[in-house]
């Protein structure tokens, strides 16, 4: 189908090919009876998504969610999400449950010449009640009003923003962990975000805590955030609670033996998992490697560029090995270590996976492709270290928690080395404890920074950073108002430098829940903002309490924030020498790559500022230098060793 819009062609596809087929596993227009022919197979599927089954109209609602999803028919279009990347606009429209006689189709319209013009239609997919649009040849320089319509009266409107390529500072809001202990609105966060006007929203997971009721909980999340998601690109990625598990070690899609998940795999039927993926990730750019994993469970890892900031979107639990049966049990749970004689090296076993080979291959390619990119960031669900000591209450101290991505340690370091090549930082959620750390690999502070955002509502499972000896780490952060900053080993033996943290002042989950809407109590909840400034490559980490008063400026942030770093601080290695200065003749801000010939390791691939660059190195070499406008596709020198400061190479990039 070819659409003419604004003088240019728009091509629209009903199907995303094999990837979308993997998400469906059910005929889009099929209508199933919730009791006689449930949408999810087997015993495990019988109790899933009951509040949004298509037979709800034949029974009286009893639970909060069952009542919440029964809206007036002019409100059945709940919300919409979008991104645009590389000329492709993708929109997901989320609907409340439809009645049997209502049409299973939605319409997409754009505002043009003073009127709404329909540009596409899409089927409503059940279970999940979502509809999906994909438009190619998208002109991302224009601001376009959109409207998603159902029937005669229901609609949801928003704005598709142009790519902010001309803005110097790109602002990202990072949020996660939307506890169902509070079913109310999120106006205290949404109103602040509207004022702060981020260019991109990143929801890092646990949008839902209603394990067996994803669709209803997803609709509640959309109702809570619809006023901020309607008019800017939004990344949502599911985490363990979204797919119905206490924790997730996906292990490539195998079947888990129980919902705690520590055996590895997914507990609920793949049809349910794919419904969650479809609703939360179909609006993201197409997966870079769309082949499903075991049980035909879909994948969604991909990239999104916004205003020159290049985001790698990673499913950091989908391929990760589960601990049960692979390592000895050293505490009350397979993933909780309380044994004081625990040796972290004993569980860093060969063959264990973290991101998996497919995502690692993608990350390596991503670090070397700088088309449309000035700075790079990895987005995922959880942290690459164990930056918490107390879990659930101040009486529960763990030596190590295998639910974080600090384990397996060798794979964690492998990820960090790849991120370091691109001087990329890491943003994530999950931990219910906001921290900024700099990771160490071989030495303290030689790796990238990681920012874990606070929980949106921190009453589900509190965590605290609280060293047992209550002493500052090595080289505490100068000027910090907090007592425990500096260099530490986490419980898994990983090097981390704690820059700042936001501990709740209360000591139990019950106390946190009781005070969850009291603005006078520090619960450690809220959201993060990250400001990427392209002109000087600076990064500013901000952490805002849920009930912060923006009129107070930075004083309203959690103590220790904001933290400002330079992009190159994400590579903390200390140079032992430099190669000849590169003096570019026919290109500005090119990409430079340096390779250590002794082991073929890529030391880094980065876009420099200007036309002159003296490459730092960390050994005697020899080294190869490759350059290019957007990719390092031209070798300009080989067998180089560190040289005196006055040496230089004149470089002309071919084809420029």
Give me the domains of the chain, ranges plus CATH numbers.
Answer: 2-30+71-160 (2.60.40.380), 169-570 (3.60.21.10), 577-651 (no CATH)
Do the Cβ atoms of 475 and 413 come closer than 8 Å?
Answer: no
Sign of CA dihedral 600, 606, 611, 617: negative
H/E element holding 178?
strand 169-178
User: What percent of the chain has a predicted confidence (pLDDT) above 90?
Assistant: 92
Name the least confident of 8-17, 406-415, 476-485. Answer: 8-17
Question: What local confidence, expressed as pLDDT, does residue 424 receive?
Answer: 99
d(CA 37, CA 233): 37
Nearest to 384 by CA among 342, 416, 417, 346: 416
Question: What does pTM read for this prediction?
Answer: 0.95
Question: What local confidence, expressed as pLDDT, does residue 37 receive?
Answer: 66
Q: H helices within 459-558, ranges in order?
A: 509-514
Strands (E), 250-328: 302-306, 309-313
Question: What local confidence, expressed as pLDDT, does residue 645 receive?
Answer: 82
> Per mean pLDDT, which of 1-15, 34-48, 454-468 is the most reliable?
454-468
Question: What local confidence, expressed as pLDDT, does residue 584 receive?
Answer: 97
Q: Is the pLDDT of residue 14 over 80?
A: no
Question: What local confidence, expressed as pLDDT, does residue 11 receive?
Answer: 36
Cis geometry, peptide bond prior to residue 609 (ω within 30 degrees of 0): no
Q: Crossing angle, helix 356-368 and helix 409-421, to 10 degrees?
A: 20
Q: What is the pLDDT of residues 317-336, one digit of tens each?
A: 999 999 999 999 999 999 99
Question: How confident is residue 17, by pLDDT bands cut at 50, 70 and 90?
Answer: very low
Question: What local confidence, expressed as pLDDT, does residue 655 receive?
Answer: 75
Other C-beta atoms closer than 10 Å to the C-beta of 451 total 27
Q: What is the pLDDT of residues 524-553, one digit of tens each?
A: 999 999 999 999 999 999 999 999 999 999
Question: How confident is residue 9, by pLDDT bands cut at 50, 70 and 90?
Answer: very low
Q: What is the pLDDT of residues 219-253, one digit of tens each?
A: 999 999 999 999 999 999 999 999 999 999 999 99
Q: What is the pLDDT of residues 590-624, one digit of tens each?
A: 999 999 999 999 999 999 999 999 999 999 999 99
Average pLDDT, the chain: 94
Question: What local confidence, expressed as pLDDT, does residue 375 receive?
Answer: 98
Q: Which residues contact 110 (CB under 8 A, 6 or more apart)?
A: 5, 116, 117, 119, 144, 145, 146, 147
Q: Which residues contact 161 (CB under 8 A, 6 or more apart)?
A: 143, 199, 231, 232, 233
d(CA 619, CA 546): 47
Q: What is the pLDDT of residues 19-49, one digit of tens each?
A: 444 454 433 333 333 345 689 999 999 999 9
Separation of CA 514 from chain center: 29
d(CA 607, CA 326): 42
Q: What is the pLDDT of residues 436-448, one digit of tens each?
A: 999 999 999 999 9
Do the Cβ atoms of 317 and 246 come closer than 8 Å?
Answer: no
Give φ, ψ of 567 to 5 degrees: -50, -45
Q: H helices within 464-594, ranges in order?
A: 509-514
Mean pLDDT of 502-506: 97
Q: Is the pLDDT of residue 6 over 60?
A: no
């Amino acid at each position: 189908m070819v659409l003419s819009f604004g003088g240019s062609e728009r091509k629209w596809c009903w199907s995303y090919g094999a990837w979308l087929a993997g998400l469906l596993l059910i005929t889009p227009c099929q209508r199933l009876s919730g009791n006689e022919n449930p949408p999810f197979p087997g015993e495990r599927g019988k109790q899933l998504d009951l509040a949004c089954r298509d037979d709800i109209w034949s029974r009286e609602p009893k639970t909060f969610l069952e009542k919440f999803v029964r809206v007036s028919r002019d409100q059945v279009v709940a919300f919409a999400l979008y991104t645009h990347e590389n000329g492709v606009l993708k929109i997901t429209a989320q609907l409340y449950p439809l009645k049997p006689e209502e049409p299973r189709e939605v319409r997409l319209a754009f505002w043009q010449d003073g009127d709404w013009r329909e540009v596409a239609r899409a089927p409503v997919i059940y279970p999940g009640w979502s509809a999906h649009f994909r438009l190619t040849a998208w002109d991302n320089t224009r601001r376009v009003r959109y409207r998603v319509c159902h029937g005669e009266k229901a609609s949801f409107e928003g704005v598709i923003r142009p790519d902010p390529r001309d803005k110097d500072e790109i602002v990202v809001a990072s949020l996660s962990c939307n506890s169902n202990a509070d079913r109310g609105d999120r106006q205290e966060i949404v109103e602040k975000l509207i004022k702060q006007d981020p260019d991109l929203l990143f929801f890092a997971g646990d949008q839902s805590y209603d394990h067996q009721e994803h669709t209803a909980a997803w609709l509640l999340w959309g109702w809570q955030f619809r006023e901020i998601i309607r008019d800017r690109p939004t990344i949502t990625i599911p985490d363990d609670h979204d797919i119905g598990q206490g924790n997730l070690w996906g292990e490539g899609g195998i079947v888990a033996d129980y919902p705690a998940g520590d055996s590895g795999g997914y507990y609920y039927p793949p049809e349910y998992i794919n419904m969650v993926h479809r609703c939360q990730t179909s609006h993201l750019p197409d997966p870079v490697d769309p082949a499903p994993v075991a049980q035909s469970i879909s994948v969604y890892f991909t990239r999104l560029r916004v205003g020159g900031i290049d985001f790698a979107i990673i499913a950091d639990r989908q391929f990760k090995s589960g601990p049960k049966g692979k390592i000895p049990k050293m505490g009350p749970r397979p993933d909780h270590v309380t044994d004081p004689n625990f040796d972290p090296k004993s569980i860093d076993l060969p063959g264990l996976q973290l991101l998996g080979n497919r995502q690692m291959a993608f990350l390596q390619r991503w670090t070397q492709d700088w088309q449309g990119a000035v700075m790079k960031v990895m987005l995922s669900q959880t942290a690459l270290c164990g930056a918490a000591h107390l879990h659930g209450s101040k009486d529960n101290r763990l030596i190590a928690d295998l639910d974080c991505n600090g384990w397996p340690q060798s794979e964690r370091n492998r990820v960090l080395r790849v991120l370091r090549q691109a001087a990329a930082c890491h943003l994530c959620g999950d931990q219910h404890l906001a921290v900024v750390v700099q990771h160490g690999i071989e030495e303290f502070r030689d790796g990238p920074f990681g920012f874990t955002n606070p929980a949106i509502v921190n009453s589900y499972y509190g965590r605290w950073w609280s060293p047992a000896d209550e002493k500052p780490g090595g080289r505490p952060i100068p000027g910090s108002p907090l007592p425990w900053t500096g260099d530490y080993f986490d419980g898994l033996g990983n090097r981390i430098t704690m820059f700042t943290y936001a501990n709740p002042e209360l000591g139990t989950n019950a106390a946190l829940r009781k005070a969850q809407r009291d603005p006078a109590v520090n619960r450690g909840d809220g959201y993060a903002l990250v400001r990427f400034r392209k002109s000087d490559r600076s990064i500013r980490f901000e952490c805002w309490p849920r009930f912060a008063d923006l009129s107070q400026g930075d004083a309203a942030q959690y103590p220790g924030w904001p933290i400002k770093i330079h992009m190159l601080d994400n590579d903390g290695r200390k140079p032992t020498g430099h190669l000849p200065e590169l003096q570019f003749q026919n290109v500005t801000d090119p990409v430079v790559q340096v390779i250590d010939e002794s082991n073929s390791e890529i030391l880094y691939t980065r876009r420099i500022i200007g036309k002159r660059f003296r490459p730092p190195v960390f050994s005697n070499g020899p080294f190869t230098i490759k350059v290019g406008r957007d990719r390092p596709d031209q070798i300009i020198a080989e067998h180089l060793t560190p040289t005196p400061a006055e040496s230089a190479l004149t470089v002309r990039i071919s084809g420029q």
